Amino acid sequence: MTPHLRIVRGDASPEEIAALVAVLATRHAQPEPRPVPTSQTWRNPARAMRKPVTPGKSAWRMSALP
């Protein structure tokens, strides 16, 4: 097994090596996915539009309703 990290110069303490590994691990970590915002029906402008009036019995009554 070959090491992925090799200290070339100096005498690093175990704490310094742990700090270096922590920094490198956070650099290559995948970002957390953002939550998908849910669509809210009350904000939809199509909700305020009335349905088309179809001809037939009591169509005149529906023409006055939103």
Each domain of the chain, given as residue ranges in start order, spans 1-30
Residue 2 is predicted with a pLDDT of 62
Residue 66 is predicted with a pLDDT of 58
Helix (H, G, I), strand (E, B) or coil at 18: helix
Instruction: Name the burial class of residue 6, with classes exposed (0-12), middle (13-18) and buried (19+) by CB atoms within 10 angstroms of its CB.
Output: exposed
The 10s digit of each residue's pLDDT in 10-66 is: 888 999 999 988 888 888 777 788 888 777 777 778 777 777 767 778 777 766 765
Single-letter amino acid code for the residue at 66: P
Phi-psi region of 3 (alpha: psi -120 to 50; beta: other; left: phi over 0): beta
Distance separating alpha carbons of residues 52 and 58, to the nearest angstrom: 14
Cα 29 to chain centroid, rounded: 17
Residue 59 is predicted with a pLDDT of 75
Residue 18 is predicted with a pLDDT of 92
